[in-house]
Amino acid sequence: MGGFRVQPEEKGPGQAVGQQRHPIIPGFRNQPRIVAVSQDELKALVGQAALQYVVQGEVVGVGTGSTVNKFIEALAGIRDRIPGAVSSSDASTERLRAAGIRVFDANEVGELAVYIDGADEIDGAGHMIKGGGAALTREKIIAAQSRRFICIADESKRVEVLGRFPLPVEVIPMATQAVIRKFAALGGAAQVRQREGRPLVTDNGQHILDVTGLQIRSPLAFESEVNQWPGVVTVGVFAHQKAAVCLLGTAGGVQTLNY
Ligand code: 5RP
């Protein structure tokens, strides 16, 4: 993707992460190597490891997807130690409630200590592509409301340059063709995501475009640019709301990457 410069505020890996105030679960960092085989097991490992970032007595932000579902299962075990969660989708809300965890509206709570969510791709600086589960808009809202984004992902999600995964973009339906043309001018091919033969309708009543053919080398600039196109609700690049930490599930165990 040409034409976008890297913004000075982009940070590289290795930045220290602040201490948790009251972490419920002690750190996993010094654990012996754990050997996991399947992708499902890797997701369960990082879902469990994310508990160490949940702050006792504080509402936690919860994302959407199969990795987050593992986190919700783990969170159920400590539900008595938190007031509840803010959820990024109807699907996660349903799971949280089924697990006995109270769900708050984002407007009922102030700043959150942490937001825990998966990703479709994450680069070496913690920038992500998200929205494979069509929940990107609410995910970005809660991420922006949270002090730290803790990304939980298996190692297949780690990339050098964002863009191999088709980029999800939530759009207002009447702007669909105009937005498709704008992506075409950048070398991207956008398609309306379908479900059961019809355009998928998000929790917000909008549509999703999936864009292939992009190499997003300057995620901050790209996100800012696309987000101001008329009709774009949210672009699935999370650079302004990038991860502070990624718990990456690998065959050797959980790697903690700080950005
Ligand atoms: C949903 C998302 C998910 O975090 C992303 O798609 C990863 O999902 P999974 O954990 O199932 O691989 O952005 O909108």
Domains, the chain, ordered by start: 13-159+240-258 (3.40.50.1360), 167-236 (3.30.70.260)
Task: State in Å, rounded, how far the first CA of the chain is from the last one.
Answer: 23
With CA atoms as reference, report the closest residue to 139 among 67, 191, 45, 221: 67
Q: Please tell me the residue having the least CA distance from ligand 1 atom 6.
A: 132
Is 205 annotated as ligand-binding? no
Per DSSP, helices labelled H in the chain are: 39-49, 66-76, 90-98, 136-144, 176-185, 219-227
With CA atoms as reference, report the closest residue to 251 among 68, 50, 42, 49: 42
At residue 4 the predicted structure's pLDDT band, cuts being 50, 70 and 90, is very low
Query: Which range among 1-15, 28-42, 162-176, 177-191 shows the weakest confidence by mean pLDDT?
Result: 1-15
Encoded tokens for 38 = 């399947």
Contacts made by residues 90-99, CB under 8 angstroms, sequence distance 24+: 90/203, 91/64, 91/133, 91/135, 92/62, 92/63, 92/64, 92/68, 92/135, 95/69, 96/62, 96/72, 99/72, 99/73, 99/75
Give the residue, 169 or 8, on which the prediction is more confident. 169
Cα distance between residue 65 and residue 133, in whole Å: 6
C-alpha triplet 6, 11, 13: angle, nearest 5° = 125
Provide residues with CB under 6 Å of ligand 1. 63-67, 117-120, 130-136, 139
- Cα–Cα separations (whole angstroms), residue 99 to 13, 62, 175: 35, 13, 39
Whether the Cβ atoms of residue 27 and residue 114 lie closer than 8 Å to each other: no
Q: How would you class 100 by CB atoms within 10 Å of its CB: exposed for 0-12, middle for 13-18, buried for 19 or more?
A: exposed
Cα distance between residue 141 and residue 160, in whole Å: 26
Per-residue pLDDT tens digits for 170-216: 999 999 999 999 999 999 999 999 999 999 999 999 999 999 999 99
Query: Residue 219, SS3?
Result: helix
Is 47 annotated as ligand-binding? no
Is 176 annotated as ligand-binding? no
At residue 32 the predicted structure's pLDDT band, cuts being 50, 70 and 90, is very low
Entry pTM: 0.88
- For the beta carbon of residue 159, count every other beta carbon within 10 angstroms: 19
Q: Is 121 a catalytic residue?
A: no
Specify the pLDDT at position 34.
52
Q: Please tell me the residue having the least CA distance from ligand 1 atom 1.
A: 133
Encoded tokens for 160 = 């050098």
Give the residue, 32 or 164, on which the prediction is more confident. 164
Encoded tokens for 59 = 């509402």
- For the beta carbon of residue 133, count every other beta carbon within 10 angstroms: 21
Query: How many A from CA of 217 to the centre of ligand 1?
Result: 21
